[in-house]
Structure formats: C-alpha cells, structure tokens
Structure 1
C-alpha cells in the first residue's frame, strides 16, 4: 500500500516533534514553550518542503489556519519572555 502525501506530511511532522523532544530532553532544556517553538519551526519547514508545485489539495489549504494560530502562539511566547526579562520599573 502506497503512502499518501498527507500521511507523509503527518509522519514527517511527528518525526520532527519526537526528534525535538529527544534533543531537548538530552540537553535538559525541555519546557513547553521551547517545545512549542521547535515544533512550530518543524511544522513550517515540513509544510514548505512538502508543498506541491502546481495544484494545492484541499487539506493543505487548511494548514494556513494552523500556521496562523502557530504564529499567534509564537507571538504570545515572545511577549511572555520579553516581559519576564524586563525589570518591573519598565513595565
């Protein structure tokens, strides 16, 4: 049985997330925020590397919403990190 492009995309994303989880664990740097950022970077890379050249299937158009939500989440993580670094007097 042949693997569809959608399944290949899911397998690649899952492999990226598991590898990221493993590397963060080995480096003792695991946090949910960092895992989210690593997973988002992998998602964006896998999305671009598996993009078809001519016709975009319907399931790939739905990935835009996941991308938008991921970027909003990334913005939230960045703002939280900046607020944690800044002294109280600046805020």
Structure 2
C-alpha cells in the first residue's frame, strides 16, 4: 500500500512537471523561475491529493523540509520580482 502511494506521488509529480514544461514551451514563457513556481504549485497539489487519511508514512513526514525549502525559494523569487518592478528610488 505504501509503495503504491509513493509511486503515485512520484508519477504525479513528474507528470505535472512535464506538463508544466510543455505548456510553458508552447506559450513561449519558459524560464527557470516560472517553471519552479508552477512545479512547486503542482508539487503541493500532488502532496495533498496523495495524502493518506489515517496513517502518515515516514517518507511523507520528510516532505515538510522540501516544502519549506520550496517556499523559501518562492519567497526569494517574489522579492526579486517586486524589487525589479519598483522604481529606482523607492528602496
């Protein structure tokens, strides 16, 4: 059971990332930052969709560190984008 859920998680995450890359290429908007943000959103969706109801396997408890790191990088990207938009003398 745990192996099946783990496999669903990995396949779901890889499918989301592949679909995201293909869509971004088709739209002509592929960049590292945008791919990371779309992949992070997909990763969080897959984490929630594959979460078990009663038992939390050990491998899922380690995902919180990966989610935290992803959110830190996301925050860095947002701050960089906001600073690029602001006029020169504001900050």
TM-score band (shorter)?
A: over 0.9
CA distance in 2, matches of 1:35, 1:21: 7
CA distance in 1, matches of 2:53, 2:45: 16
TM-score by length of 2: 0.95
After TM superposition, give the deviation of residue 89 of structure 1 in Å: 0.6
**Match of residue 5 from structure 2:** 5
After TM superposition, give the deviation of residue 7 of structure 1 in Å: 1.2
5+ long unaligned stretches in structure 1: none
Map 1:54-73 onto structure 2 (within 5 A).
54-73=54-73
5+ long unaligned stretches in structure 2: none
CA distance in 1, matches of 2:66, 2:87: 34
**Match of residue 27 from structure 1:** 27
Aligned alpha-carbon RMSD (Å): 0.8
Q: How many residues align?
A: 89
CA distance in 2, matches of 1:6, 1:50: 8
After TM superposition, give the deviation of residue 57 of structure 1 in Å: 0.1
CA distance in 2, matches of 1:50, 1:5: 7
1:38 paired with 2:27, answer no
TM-score by length of 1: 0.95
* Secondary structure of residue in 2 paired with 1:4: helix
Q: Which protein has the bigger helix share?
A: 2
After TM superposition, give the deviation of residue 4 of structure 1 in Å: 1.8
